[in-house]
Structure 1
Amino acid sequence: MSKPDKKRKKEVNSTGSVSEIDNELTADQHGAALYDVPKVANYVEVTLPQYLPDDFKTFFRMIRGTFERVLERISADDQFRRRIASRGREQVPLDKDLLMTLWYLGNLETVRSIADRFNVSKSTFLDHNRRLLTVLCDSLLKTVICWPSNNDKQTVIDEFQNKKGFPGVLGAIDRTHIKISAPRKSSPDFFNRKEHYSIILQAVCRENRRFTDVYCGWPGKVHAARVFRTSPLFAALPGFTGMNHIIGDEAYPISRYLMPPFSDNGHLSRKQVNFHKALSGTRALIENSFGMLKSRFRRLVFIDMVDIEFIVKK
């Protein structure tokens, strides 16, 4: 935005002396002009339909078909039933809401920049983004992230065993740190051993790297075993696994339903070493899943927010 021209005029004051005064914008006017940033016109209506399939997936982190299915699933929610506005602007269409949220999750672009791209105000974007994320978590999460059905369990076990020969595996568990800004409250608890603030995301994945259970919210300093013991999965695991088990790293406690590797003290037997290699090689799938998650949804690399409750809901 170019600066307004500074026009000066001379004025004779009450004493007869001549002074120069600036004929510029007042402070209030300048502030208003500073935030009157031009929006990107017709991005959704004109530019976006011209994207090739690969372009759409690059920017919105899913193919158009998946986008349409998600849109259909959430459109029945009461919060998104279109209202007839009695005054002011017409409401933002739901497909535009979803596009904005996907752009937000898939990029580290600033909120103001995203709002400009989609031709809405910053406050409108924040309000709609928060509402949509809430609906996605409350209405869609349980139907997408779920434990394998009884008919599917044997397939999961067989596919896990085909990878490294480890039998009876229904899932791999691990945790990852989501980097955040320093919270307003109890910030030392969130400062982890890698010397940055974070919250912990615990997850289980199946053989195809699809998540079957997620649990998030503990501060970054908390040990993995404590996170696990306080998660709903801890009590539900016997019912999920039956005579089988999930696998994790050495931070997790050994039980009938969760199998970690042996602690390598340098004196493992050959059988223990082979067990360790097979388990660790199989468990690597959950690490790959976290890598794919953060690669697709780049917002998870760093969340510049201090509202822990809302961050967890994301």
Structure 2
Amino acid sequence: MANHVYDHGTGNEMSSSRPNGRQPNNMYDPYSDDDDDVMDLHMVCQLTRDIPMRQPQRNCPYTSEQYIKFLLSENPKSIREQLQMEVPTFVELAKQIVRRNVVDWSNIRLSLEESLAMFLFICGQSSRTRNAGDRFQHSNETIHRHFVLMMRALGNLTPFVIQPPNMDVTHRKIRSDRRYWPWFKDCVGAIDGTHVVVVAPKGDQMPYRGRKVHTTQNVMAACSFDMKFTFVYTGWEGSAHDSRIFLEALTTNSADFPHPLPNKYYLVDAGYTHLLGYVAPYRGQKYHLQEFNRRRRYHGPQELFNHRHSSLRNVIERTFGVLKKRFPLLRHMPRYDMDEFFDAEESSDEDEDDVEDEDEDEQVKFRVKLEFKMTMEMKMEYQLCNNTTM
């Protein structure tokens, strides 16, 4: 069937034998769909002329796997500076994660060593996700996902790493130093709190803003005289007082606090309550090390005791300092979700009954006995230090 085309010159219809009603190439049809497509294509070319071509970002030939092999095989100083960890420690930590089966790695494409290295790089350099992505040649989403995965894996590894101290044996640091032996022969460790910088939600920042300028969490910890943590209690706002966190840790079974054995005790500072098994310094006397001069002329046995107490308890301060120096993320926190950092330990807690309160008469009896014993010993030491006689 012939198709009809309208002729503008004569006003008459013209028949066309071309199929589908198309005109010959030498005839112009203002209603043709082909001309509309050409104009649309021309407009698209004009609009996209100045748009640059997209270039791949993670195209460094030095892949993440090659970088890990370089750190593990080359100068040990490199891995210490980048990951804040020695090669044997890194290898053993990776083995412990596999041996303890704290995370299922069967369906994960990246190796465990790569994921652990990305986590340590962010913590050791206080790095952002973009910087870690450029270093390890992975997308920001991959870096963030493996950071959270490894953080939870290490959180599940905590019960196998942070162990209570051996309370049956007096530590060699006390036995070998005449300043502490035999006055502190029953001491098993030191307890104190530290503030860790966090990014709190905008509507909940006030409870996390205490003495510090930044929003923080108040973390209580105990350590041995080997500078090894034996207990860590996280999750409290920066405005919470140390004594409140301390009493909560003692009276809550879910905290798994390693209570001292009978006649053993921890050293605590003046911010904590003096209780059975937890010896605080004398109040109203000099205590901090910077308050004592080099001549060490003491004004009584209580001041001498406070000096020895502060010097021995300072191990927890040095442990906190080393930890924050090695992992600056604890001092300069990038904008990571706070809940992701403190849910690993809380997720493994089980509901248990509260610990029964210590008998008040027993606490008073222990304190009187301990103070009398230490006062008599410190009087003798005080006389020797000041070259006096009774």
Q: Same fold (TM over 0.5)?
A: yes
Query: How would you bin the TM-score normalised by the shorter chain?
Result: 0.7 to 0.9
SS at match of 1:240: coil
Deviations 1:124-169 (A, max 9, x none): 111111111101111x21111111235xx4142x523545314121
Q: 2:50 aligns with which of 8, 12, 24?
A: 24
Q: 2:115 & 2:97 partners in 1: Cα distance?
A: 11
Q: How does 1:129-144 map to 2 (within 5 A)?
A: 129-138=147-156, 140-144=157-161
| Structure 1 residue 81 displacement after superposition | 2.9
Q: 2:150 & 2:325 partners in 1: Cα distance?
A: 22
Contact 2:82 2:124 in 1 (8 A): yes
| Structure 1 residue 53 displacement after superposition | 1.3
> What is the RMSD computed on CA atoms of the aligned residues?
2.7
Structure 1 counterpart of 2:105: 81
Q: 1:301 to 1:257 in 2, by over 3 A?
A: same
Structure 1 counterpart of 2:174: 160
Contact 2:217 2:236 in 1 (8 A): yes
- State the TM-score, normalizing by the size of structure 1: 0.79
SS at match of 1:112: helix
| Structure 1 residue 301 displacement after superposition | 1.1
Q: 2:58 aligns with which of 34, 38, 46?
A: 38
Deviations 1:175-207 (A, max 9, x none): 111112342342100011133210011111111
Structure 2 counterpart of 1:149: 166
Structure 1 counterpart of 2:190: 172
Structure 2 counterpart of 1:284: 314
Q: 2:261 aligns with which of 221, 241, 245?
A: 241
Q: 2:231 & 2:310 partners in 1: Cα distance?
A: 20
Q: How does 1:1-314 map to 2 (within 5 A)?
A: 23-25=49-51, 36-40=56-60, 41-45=62-66, 47-49=70-72, 51-76=74-99, 77=101, 79-83=103-107, 91-138=109-156, 140-149=157-166, 153-156=168-171, 158-160=172-174, 162-163=176-177, 164-165=179-180, 166-167=183-184, 168-231=186-249, 239-264=259-284, 270-305=300-335, 307-313=337-343
Contact 1:182 1:306 in 2 (8 A): no
Q: 2:326 & 2:120 partners in 1: Cα distance?
A: 10
Runs of 5+ in structure 1 lacking a partner? 1-19, 84-89
Structure 1 counterpart of 2:353: none
Q: Which has the higher contact order (CA 8 A, sep 6+)?
A: 1
Structure 2 counterpart of 1:5: none
SS at match of 1:75: helix
Larger radius of gyration: 2
Q: 1:79 to 1:194 in 2, by over 3 A?
A: closer
Structure 1 counterpart of 2:25: none
Contact 1:161 1:169 in 2 (8 A): no
The amino acid across from 2:320 in the alignment is F
Q: 1:120 to 1:203 in 2, by over 3 A?
A: same
Runs of 5+ in structure 2 lacking a partner? 1-45, 287-297, 345-390
Query: When the two structures are aligned, how many residues end up with a matched partner?
Result: 278
The amino acid across from 2:279 in the alignment is M
Q: 1:300 & 1:93 partners in 2: Cα distance?
A: 26
SS at match of 2:342: helix
Sequence identity of aligned pairs in percent?
23
Q: 1:299 & 1:39 partners in 2: Cα distance?
A: 28
